[in-house]
Amino acid sequence: MKKPQDKDYSYDGSVLLRARKRLKKDREFIAKKLTLNVTQIKSIEENLNYGFATPYFLKLSIERYAKILNVSIHKVLSYPVNEPITPDSDEPTLPKFLINFSNQASNLIILILVILSIALFFYYSKLQNNIIKNKEIIINEENSTSVDVESYPIIASTPEDIINADNLISDSIIDTPSQSINNTALNFICTIQSSPVTSFITKTPDKPSSYFHLVSSADQSICTIDSDGDLKTYNLIAGEKITHHGKPPFKIQLDPTASTLYFQGWIVYLNASNQFIQLDPALPPLID
HEC states along 159-222?
CCCCCCHHHCCHHHCCCCCCCCCCCCCCCCCCCCCCCCCEEEECCCCCCCCCEEEEEECCCEEE
The pLDDT assigned to 114 comes to: 94
Spatial contact of 242 and 224, defined as CB atoms under 8 Å apart: no
Q: Distance between CA atoms of 32 and 45, rounded to whole angstroms?
A: 16
The pLDDT assigned to 171 comes to: 37
| Packed helices 27-34 and 38-45: angle between N→C axes, nearest 10 degrees | 110
Q: Where are the beta strands (DSSP E) in 55-123?
A: 77-78
Strand 198-201 and strand 276-280: pairing? parallel
Of the two residues 175 and 102, the one the predictor is more confident about is 102
Q: What is the pTM of this model?
A: 0.38
Residues paired with residue 270 on neighbouring β-strands, in sequence order: none
Phi and psi at residue 5, in whole multiples of 5°? -110, -25
134-171 confidence digits (pLDDT tens): 655 444 444 444 444 444 454 555 455 444 444 433 33
Q: Domain extents for the chain? A: 3-78, 150-280
Of the two residues 90 and 279, the one the predictor is more confident about is 279
Instruction: Give the pLDDT mean for 257-265.
Output: 94
What are the distances in angstroms from CA 207 to CA 165, 210, 243, 267? 9, 9, 13, 12
Spatial contact of 206 and 160, defined as CB atoms under 8 Å apart: no
Spatial contact of 9 and 77, defined as CB atoms under 8 Å apart: yes
The pLDDT assigned to 39 comes to: 93
At a CB cut-off of 8 Å and minimum separation 6, what does 16 contact? 44, 45, 62, 65, 66, 69, 71, 76
Q: Distance between CA atoms of 78 and 66, rounded to whole angstroms?
A: 13
Q: What is 3-78's CATH number?
A: 1.10.260.40
Q: Distance between CA atoms of 139 and 148, rounded to whole angstroms?
A: 16
Q: Distance between CA atoms of 48 and 40, rounded to whole angstroms?
A: 9
Residue 3 has pLDDT above 70, yes or no: no
3-state secondary structure of 43: helix
